[in-house]
Amino acid sequence: MTKLLNDALVFFSLFGLGLSFYSYIIELSVEMDENYVASCDFSEHMSCTKAFKSEYGKGFGILGRLLGNDSVFNLPNSLYGILFYSFLATVGFSDSTFTTTIALGATVLSNCASVYFASILIFILKDLCVVCVTIYVINFINLILVYIKLGRLRQEEKLKQN
């Protein structure tokens, strides 16, 4: 009964994974070649590298301050994205209520991250990063999908008990 939901969840998680990989490649390219022009840089106020290269592009702009800029955990956000969406794509296959509850927690967390990053884009960097905004949309879709899925799993459990 959750087959279509699972497929959609895995699809959007892989979409997020792809965007995270793409962001990471862009970051590496910009770092190696300062003349590199990223395909997601459209103008001064529509730039993805402006976000990635900012002080908020690494360790969520928090870990560096907490653990020191040289900490092994102060990685580019895109690497955390790769970890996160790989995890979500994997648990997306599971029809266990427990696993899906974990997935719900993770997607709630990622939407908090969306709000945090979106405010940085709007109020501090005054930048429209298309890759970032697409990530926010994906995070929201994933939240809705996991929420619906958990509801159905709980309903199925109830039906089995009776």
Ligand X SMILES: C/C(=C\C[C@@]12O[C@]1(C)C(=O)c1ccccc1C2=O)CCC[C@H](C)CCC[C@H](C)CCCC(C)C
Task: Tell me if 20 contacts ligand X by CB under 6 A.
Answer: yes
Q: Does 51 sit near ligand X (CB under 6 A)? A: yes
* CA atoms within a 13 Å half-sphere pointing along the CA-CB vector of 156: 11
Look-up of token digits 């997020």? 16
Residues in CB range of 82: below 8 A, 6 or more apart: 17, 20, 21, 24
Stretch that binds ligand X, among 15-23, 34-42, 91-99, 149-157 (CB under 6 A): 15-23
> Does 12 contact ligand X by CB under 6 A?
no
- Does the protein bind ligand X through residue 54 (CB under 6 A)? yes
Residues 64, 70, 72, 78, CA torsion sign: positive
**Site map (CB under 6 A) of ligand X, residues 93-132, x = contact:** ----------------xx--x---x--xx---------xx
Nearest residue (CB) to ligand X, 8 versus 132: 132
Only one of the segments 3-11, 33-41, 75-83, 146-154 lies at the binding site for ligand X (rule: CB under 6 A); that segment is 75-83
Q: Tokens 């969306």 — which residue?
A: 114
- Report the distance separating Cα 54 and Cα 33, nearest Å: 17
CA 61/CA 77 separation, integer angstroms: 9
- Give residues in contact with ligand X (CB under 6 A): 19-20, 23, 51-52, 54, 56-57, 77-78, 80-81, 83-84, 109-110, 113, 117, 120-121, 131-132, 135
